[in-house]
Amino acid sequence: MKIVSFGDVHMATSNLSCLREEMMEADLVILSGDLTNFGGARDASRVIADVRAYCTSILALPGNLDQPEVVDFLEAEGIALHGRGLVLHDVAIFGCGGSNITPFKTPMELNETQIYNTLARGYDRVAGTRPLLMVCHAPPIATKCDRLIGGQAVGSSAARRFIEEVKPDVCISGHIHESAGVDKIGTTTIVNAGPFKSGGYVVVTSHGRSLETRLEFV
């Protein structure tokens, strides 16, 4: 199975044409949050439609800059990953959108207990299945994927705790634009592709019970 994932789109879909071949070859595209800039269902639907032009199999999370109604829109479309889990082509996938609390009072922020419980709700649907892919808009704290320019770690402690307990093979995150990169928590690969307008995307390929993960740029 080949998965292409990117996030922090913020309505900027011009790079999609550069990923045409990657997405047309993919079995699944995962959007890891922040589809819009403070937008709702209408804006989110435009992004989803643009992606569907290249790959009709999609899963998506809301980010902290998406209005809460985006969750309902994704649910209605049958592509929601927030608090959801499913198995596709023998790969277990679950996720949590929004972000941990920020100073900016953005539309979809969750406290750490809510993040943990949302991840647990999704994981419960796929528990026991491997390989396991976790998608969390907020990166786990204290990694190369959650640092502000000054070096401050601003990721989610709940996301990190969940990774340490469950040990997914891969965690795809986003949210912190300046921290595109790859890191490890134990055996789990953590990857943040950065904002989509900068050209970052993730390719995950399943090989039996393992996942190969690459961070690429167009």
Q: Encode pLDDT of 1-46 as tens digits.
A: 999 999 999 999 999 999 999 999 999 999 999 999 999 999 999 9
Give the 3-state DSSP-derived string for the chain, with helices as H, strands as E and coil as C. CEEEEEECCCCCCHHHHHHHHHHHHCCEEEECCCCCCCCCHHHHHHHHHHHHCCCCCEEECCCCCCCCHHHHHHHHHCCECECCEEEECCEEEEEECCECCCCCCCCCECCHHHHHHHHHHHHCCCCCCCCEEEEECCCECCCCCCECCCCCECCEHHHHHHHHHHCCCEEEECCCHHHCEEEEECCEEEEECCEHHHCEEEEEEEECCEEEEEEEEC
Residue spans of the domains in the chain: they are 2-217
Mean pLDDT of 152-171: 98
- What is d(CA 91, CA 95) in angstroms, rounded to the nearest whole number? 13
- What is d(CA 91, CA 49) in angstroms, rounded to the nearest whole number? 25
Using DSSP bridges, classify how beta strands 188-192 and 181-185 pair: parallel, antiparallel or unpaired: antiparallel
- What is d(CA 147, CA 145) in angstroms, rounded to the nearest whole number? 6
Give which of 212, 191, 218, 217 is closest to 3, Cα–Cα: 212
In the numeric block, the tokens 């790859």 are attached to 182
pTM equals 0.98
pLDDT at 14: 94
Q: Partners of 135 in the beta sheet?
A: 95, 172
| Token representation of residue 53 | 């032009």
CATH T-level topology, domain 2-217: Purple Acid Phosphatase; chain A, domain 2 (3.60.21)
66-88 pLDDT tens trace: 999 999 999 999 999 999 999 99
100-144 pLDDT tens trace: 999 999 999 999 999 999 999 999 999 999 999 999 999 999 999
Give which of 121, 119, 193 is closest to 159, Cα–Cα: 119
